[in-house]
């Protein structure tokens, strides 16, 4: 919880905030954040006990300032936080956080702002606070997040060794507040050239300039043989990594440069100058304190802003805001070009449209060749349901995620998570998949990412969640004592069986092999819920002749909690068992086998060479690989939100039409290919 949130929650009464700018009234997110922060937006004449809200130093802020002067009313300056959104504010995308400043605005050095007071007078020595600052800065870098995030993190930066000169939009209030103009920017470019005569100089175009919203300060006539514009939307973190020097007037890029380890050369007086972390060409003499990077980050990103959680409609911590923005940015980066989808059953199309069609409406075309041609013609990408894909199809595979829903896909329950795979699909070990690449890369994850994975696993275990989260019976009390082995049944025509098994391909054979290898163990067979529902193949009529216990309609989590080990072909229950610290024996090749965490009875896959920790595997499987969709807010979301939704059962329930169709298909289970 942030200090800002704590203040807001302990405020007993709201304070009236009079506004004279329509933006405060029509921008719902801004208004909601202000309300949650304890401000009652009002119209009319303010009194001395009230506040007047102005938007930074916008063209309309003079109205509120004039009335404040006449009525001796204090001003609340409102500005976007430093992690704002995916697209610029002029695109109408709402902010994830605000700066609510009772003294001034952070970019105007003529007045001391609340942020400057925090940086000047707060102790900033609390180890917990600084630990959070370091972790959050690490998370932001790992997720390639910035104030605006309409870029592809995989876009390569130019070859390292360049000098980065940051342009800003003409008329930017922070430029004006620093008493800078085009001449200042030209001087900065000249000095950058003089101080680095043999280096390439790249002028970084502002995102709003690149999007055509506003002009910048630099013009085409300002480039030369070793000076060039760079308007490609490259991750700031990737671009800063290759720079040997960074020059700016007052851009947030300067702050990000500090966090990337640079000492930026600054020609204005933004909030981050004067603390011993910058080369100030226009010093602000009243700032004499030396701060560490973590202290600067803590003040600017944790103590100063107010962050908003759109899923639970409440103020939140920076950590939650980072996860939210990461989910939004990922959705935009995946979906911005739009999709042509093939192999999608009719009932899946509405959920897919909600998840993948928010930035550009999806087109459905079942013929793969026509879908490929249509994707090329319209500049879209092509996706196909993984089970319908051919090996030669030029499309990304789509499949359910591992925290899927509360109910079966075979019962037409819409998913809360889906995976997109551009290399293969996770259940097919015959070739690489994007999940495999995430798993391999997980050994290099920063500690903050691994801590998040550990917390997520604890939340999942505490909530008792699994893939489908069906209403089920608890584990029976009369099960024999001894070493208990759970054998989860699978759908025998499932793709993971077709691609991921060799000798052992049926539930009956799995049971037989397990019994031979464990003659004295208590073997517990749990049929797959789709099979129990009569929707898929895989029944073992004589299972009781081999297993000691056959569980019917029993919670898989209750079963896992009561056993010592799991024997499986490729079931996801094997992964859920690993999360709970159980020994897992694999007679097939599921996605979680071959990484040093399971007892594998099949030939190893040469590609799988790294040895993992459970946190590394969990991060790849539950955070990196799936996309999550919150059905309440209608927004892309992090895994943690879905855990809370499933735990509290705050998710839409199937419609009557859905239930009727599901019952009809159960009557005709042998024709499952018609809806699968």
DSSP sequence for 561-623: HH-SEEEESS-HHHHHHHHTT-EEEESS--TTSSSSSSEE-SPPPTT------HHHHHIIIII
- In this prediction, residues 66-72 reach a mean pLDDT of 88
Residue 3: name the closest of 135, 115, 139 by CA.
Answer: 115
User: Strand locations in 302-424, DSSP E?
Assistant: 305-309, 314-316, 339-342, 363-364, 381-385, 396-400, 417-421
Angstrom distance (rounded) from CA 247 to CA 250: 10
Predicted local confidence at residue 218, as pLDDT: 96
**Strand bridging mode 339-342 / 381-385:** parallel
Q: How far is Cα 55 from Cα 63, in angstroms, rounded to an integer? A: 11
Helix (H, G, I), strand (E, B), or coil: what is residue 357? coil
At residue 649 the predicted structure's pLDDT band, cuts being 50, 70 and 90, is confident
Interatomic CA distance for residues 162 and 313, integer angstroms? 44
Q: Which of 172-181, 303-312, 525-534 has the lowest mean pLDDT?
A: 525-534
Q: How far apart are CA 597 and CA 617, in angstroms?
A: 9
Are the CB atoms for 59 and 65 separated by under 8 Å? no
- Do the Cβ atoms of 15 and 40 come closer than 8 Å? yes
Residue 662, pLDDT score: 47
Give the pLDDT of residue 211.
Answer: 80
Q: How many residues does the structure list for the chain?
A: 676
**Quick one: what percent of the chain has pLDDT higher than 70?**
94
Q: What is the pLDDT of residues 87-99, one digit of tens each?
A: 988 788 999 999 9
Q: Tell me, what's the pLDDT at 212?
A: 83
For residue 51, what are the β-bridge partners? 17, 74
Among residues 75, 21, 23, 22, which one has the least CA distance to residue 46? 75
Whole-number Å distance between alpha carbons of 429 and 660: 37
pLDDT value of position 529? 84
Give the Cα separation of 167 and 159 in Å (integer).
Answer: 20
Do residues 642 and 403 lie in contact, with contact meaning Cβ atoms separated by under 8 Å? yes
| pLDDT tier, 160 (very low <50, low <70, confident <90, very high otherwise) | very high
Query: Are the folds of 152-270 and 440-648 the same?
Result: yes
**In the chain, % of residues over pLDDT 90:** 80
Cβ-proximal residues to 187 (8 Å cutoff; 6+ apart), any chain = 267
When pLDDT is averaged across residues 307-335 and rounded to a whole number, the result is 98
**pTM (2 decimals)?**
0.92
**Tokens at residue 199, please?**
């280096």
How open is the CA angle 188-172-63, to the nearest 5 degrees?
145
More confident residue, 153 or 58: 153
According to the model, what pLDDT value does residue 625 have?
98
Sorted by sequence, the CB contacts under 8 Å of residue 34 that are 6+ apart come out as 17, 24, 41, 53, 78, 98, 100
Strands 305-309 and 279-280: unpaired
Phi, psi of 599 (to 5 degrees): -95, 105
Q: Tell me the residue ranges of DSSP E strands in 193-259.
A: 201-204, 227-230, 243-248
The answer to whether the CB of 597 falls within 8 A of the CB of 441 is no
Taking the C-alpha atoms of residue 506 and residue 501, their distance in angstroms, rounded to an integer, is 9
Band of residue 64 on the pLDDT scale cut at 50, 70, 90: confident
User: DSSP string of 546-564?
Assistant: TSSEE--SB-HHHHHHH-S
Is the predicted pLDDT of residue 319 greater than 70, yes or no? yes
Place of tokens 């042998």: 670
Q: In the CATH scheme, what architecture does the domain 152-270 have?
A: 3-Layer(aba) Sandwich (3.40)
Q: Which pLDDT tens digit goes with each residue over 195-225?
A: 999 999 999 998 888 888 889 999 999 998 8
Given a cut of 50, whether residue 651 has pLDDT beyond it is yes
Residue 411 reports pLDDT greater than 90: no
Average pLDDT for 252-272: 98
Rg (C-alpha) for the chain, rounded Å, is 29
Per-residue pLDDT at 657 = 55
CATH number belonging to domain 440-648: 3.40.50
Q: Measuring CA to CA, which residue among 532, 102, 258, 165 is closest to residue 540?
A: 532
Q: What is the mean pLDDT of residues 670-676?
A: 48
At which residue do the structure tokens 């990337």 appear?
260
Specify the DSSP class assigned to residue 324. Answer: H
Kindly state the average pLDDT of the residues 609-615.
Answer: 97
Spell out the domain ranges in the chain.
1-147+289-316, 152-270, 440-648
What pLDDT, on the 0 to 100 scale, is given for residue 198? Answer: 95
For residue 663, the model assigns a pLDDT of 47
* 570 and 497 Cβ atoms separated by less than 8 Å: yes
- Cα separation, 458 vs 669, in Å, equals 37
Least confident of 47-61, 485-499, 586-600, 626-640: 47-61
Which residue did the predictor score with more confidence, 592 or 64? 592
- Supply angle C-alpha 94, 95, 96, rounded to 5: 125
The CA distance from 493 to 535, in Å, is 12
CA dihedral sign, ordered 216, 217, 222, 226: negative
Would the pLDDT of 392 be above 80?
no
What's the whole-number mean pLDDT along residues 57-62? Answer: 83
Tokens of 589: 């090749």
Q: CA 242, CA 160: separation in Å to the nearest integer? A: 4
> Which 8-state DSSP code applies to residue 479?
P
* Residues 145, 151, 156: CA angle, nearest 5 degrees: 100
Q: Is the pLDDT of residue 656 over 70?
A: no
pLDDT per position as a tens digit, 442-492: 999 999 999 999 999 999 999 999 998 877 788 888 899 999 999 999 999
* 397-425 core/surface letters (b: 16 or more CB in 10 A; e: else): bbbbbbbbbbbbbbbbbbbbbbbbbeebb
- Give residue 312's pLDDT band: very low, low, confident or very high (50, 70, 90): very high
Q: In what order do the strands lie in the sheet with 227-230?
A: 227-230, 201-204, 162-166, 243-248, 265-266, 279-280
Provide the 10 A C-beta neighbour count for residue 607. Answer: 14
Average pLDDT of the residues of the chain: 92
């Amino acid at each position: 919880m942030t200090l800002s949130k704590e203040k807001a929650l302990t405020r007993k009464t709201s304070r009236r905030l009079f506004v004279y700018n329509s933006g405060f009234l029509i921008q719902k997110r801004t208004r909601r954040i202000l309300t949650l922060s304890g401000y009652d937006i009002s119209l009319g004449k303010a009194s001395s006990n009230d506040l007047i809200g102005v938007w930074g130093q916008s063209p309309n802020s003079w109205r509120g300032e004039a009335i404040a002067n006449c009525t001796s009313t204090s001003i609340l300056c409102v500005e976007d936080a430093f992690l704002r959104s995916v697209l610029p504010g002029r695109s109408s995308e709402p902010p994830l956080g605000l700066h609510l400043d009772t003294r001034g605005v952070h970019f105007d050095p003529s007045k001391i702002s609340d942020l400057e007071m925090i940086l000047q007078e707060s102790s900033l020595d609390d180890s917990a606070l600084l630990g959070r600052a370091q972790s959050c800065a690490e998370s932001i870098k790992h997720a390639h997040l910035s104030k605006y995030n309409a870029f592809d993190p995989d876009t390569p930066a130019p070859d390292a060794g360049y000098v980065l000169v940051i342009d800003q939009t003409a008329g930017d209030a922070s430029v004006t507040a620093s008493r800078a103009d085009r001449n200042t920017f030209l001087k900065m470019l000249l000095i950058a050239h003089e101080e680095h005569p043999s280096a390439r100089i790249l002028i970084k175009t502002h995102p709003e300039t690149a999007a055509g919203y506003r002009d910048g300060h630099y013009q085409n006539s300002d480039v030369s043989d070793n000076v060039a514009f760079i308007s490609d939307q490259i991750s700031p973190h990737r671009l800063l990594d290759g720079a040997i020097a960074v020059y700016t007037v007052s851009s947030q890029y300067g702050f990000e440069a500090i966090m990337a380890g640079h000492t930026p050369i600054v020609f204005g007086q933004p909030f981050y100058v004067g603390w011993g972390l910058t080369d100030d060409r226009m010093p602000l003499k009243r700032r004499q304190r030396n701060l560490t990077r973590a202290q600067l980050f803590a003040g600017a990103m944790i103590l100063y802003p107010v962050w908003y959680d759109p899923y639970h409609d409440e103020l939140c911590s920076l950590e939650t805001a980072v996860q939210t923005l990461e989910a939004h940015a990922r959705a935009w980066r995946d979906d911005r070009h739009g999709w042509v989808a093939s192999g999608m059953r009719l009932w899946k199309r509405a959920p897919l449209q909600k998840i993948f069609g928010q930035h550009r409406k999806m087109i459905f075309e079942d013929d793969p060749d026509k879908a490929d041609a249509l994707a090329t013609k319209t500049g879209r990408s092509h996706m196909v349901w993984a089970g319908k894909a051919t090996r030669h199809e030029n499309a990304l595979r789509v499949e359910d995620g591992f925290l899927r829903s509360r109910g079966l896909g075979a019962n037409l329950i819409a998913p809360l998570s889906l995976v997109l795979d551009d290399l293969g699909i996770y259940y097919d070990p015959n070739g690489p998949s994007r999940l495999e690449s995430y798993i391999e890369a997980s050994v290099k994850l920063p500690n903050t990412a691994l801590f998040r994975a550990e917390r997520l696993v604890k939340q999942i275990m505490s909530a008792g969640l699994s893939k489908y989260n069906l209403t089920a019976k608890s584990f029976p009390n009369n099960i024999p004592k001894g070493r208990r082995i759970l054998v989860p049944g699978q759908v025998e025509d499932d793709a993971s069986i077709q691609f991921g098994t060799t000798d052992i391909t049926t539930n009956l054979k799995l049971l037989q092999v397990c019994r031979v290898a464990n003659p004295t163990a208590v073997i517990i067979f749990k049929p797959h819920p789709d099979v129990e529902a009569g929707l898929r193949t895989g029944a073992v009529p004589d299972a009781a002749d081999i297993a000691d216990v056959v569980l019917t309609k029993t919670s898989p989590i209750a079963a896992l909690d009561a056993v010592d080990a799991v024997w499986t072909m490729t079931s996801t229950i094997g992964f859920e068992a690993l999360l709970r610290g159980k020994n897992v024996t694999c007679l097939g090749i599921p996605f979680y086998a071959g990484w040093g965490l399971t007892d594998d009875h099949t030939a190893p896959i040469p590609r799988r060479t790294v040895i993992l920790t459970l946190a590394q595997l969990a991060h790849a499987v539950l955070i990196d690989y799936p996309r999550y969709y919150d059905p309440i807010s209608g927004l892309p979301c992090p895994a943690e939100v879905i855990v809370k939704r499933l735990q509290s059962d705050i998710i839409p329930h199937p419609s009557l039409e859905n239930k009727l169709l599901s019952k009809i298909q159960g009557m005709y289970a042998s024709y499952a290919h018609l809806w699968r």
